[in-house]
Homo-oligomer: A and B are copies of this chain.
C-alpha cells in the first residue's frame, strides 16, 4: 500500500511535494457496483487503482450506455478529478466493476502540485493522451466496424479479463458496453450460436470457437 509505487513520477518530486501527496491521500475500498464519479456532479479526485477494476462510460439522455475504457491495477483515473482541467467539457461515469481498492488524491491537492511541478503536469499529459487514445480506438470501432465485429471483439476481451470462456453477462449488460439495444444484441448472439461460436444460457455466454470469433473481430 505504498503510494510511491503507484506514481511513476514519485522520484522526480521534491520532499515537500511527496509529503503533501502522502498526507492528503487515503486508501479506500469500495464494493462492486459503486459509482465513483458521476458526470460533472462531483470532483472526487484522482484515483490510483490498487486492485479491482473500474469502468468509464458515457450515458445518453435516454439512458443508453457505452463503455469507453477500463482501468486496472496501477492505472490512474484522471476524469474523476476533471474539475482540475477547465477545458474538459464532457461527462463520464466511473463505476467499480469489481470490488476495488484505490488511493484517492484530492483534486485540489493534485491541481496545486500540477501547477508548479513540470514532472506532474507532464505525467498528467501522458495519462490524458492514453485515455484519449483508448477513446479514439473506441470511436474507430464504432465508426468503421459493424456490430458483429464489435461483439466478437468484446466477448474475446471479456474472456481475457475474466480468464474464462464462461462469461456471466446479460444481453442488456453487453448492450450497455457496446451502446446497442438489448434486442439487437440478442439477435446477434443467436446468430453467433447458430454459427457455433458461442453457447447461450440464462445470464451466461460460453465461448466455443475462439478462432472463428477472432477471425470475425479482425475482418
Contacts and interface: CB of A to CB of B under 8 A. Distances in A.
A160 to B, nearest CB: 19
Contacts of A138: 139
Interface in A123-173: 124-133, 135-140, 142-144
Interface string A57-70: 01011101010000
Contacts of A135: 132, 135-136, 139
B179 A136 contact: no
A184 B27 CA distance: 53
Residue from A64, A121, A138 with most neighbouring chain B CB atoms (10 Å): A121
Main DSSP-derived SS at the A contact region = helix
B133 A90 contact: yes
A122 interface: yes
Size bin of chain A's contact surface: 35 or more
B129 A85 contact: yes
Chain multiplicity (copies): 2
A88 interface: yes
30 contacts: A58-B143, A60-B140, A60-B144, A62-B144, A64-B144, A66-B143, A85-B126, A85-B129, A87-B126, A87-B129, A87-B133, A88-B129, A89-B133, A89-B136, A90-B136, A90-B137, A114-B122, A114-B125, A121-B121, A124-B125, A125-B128, A128-B128, A128-B132, A132-B132, A135-B135, A135-B136, A135-B139, A139-B139, A139-B142, A143-B179
Interface of A: 58, 60-62, 64, 66, 85-90, 114-118, 120-122, 124-133, 135-140, 142-144, 179
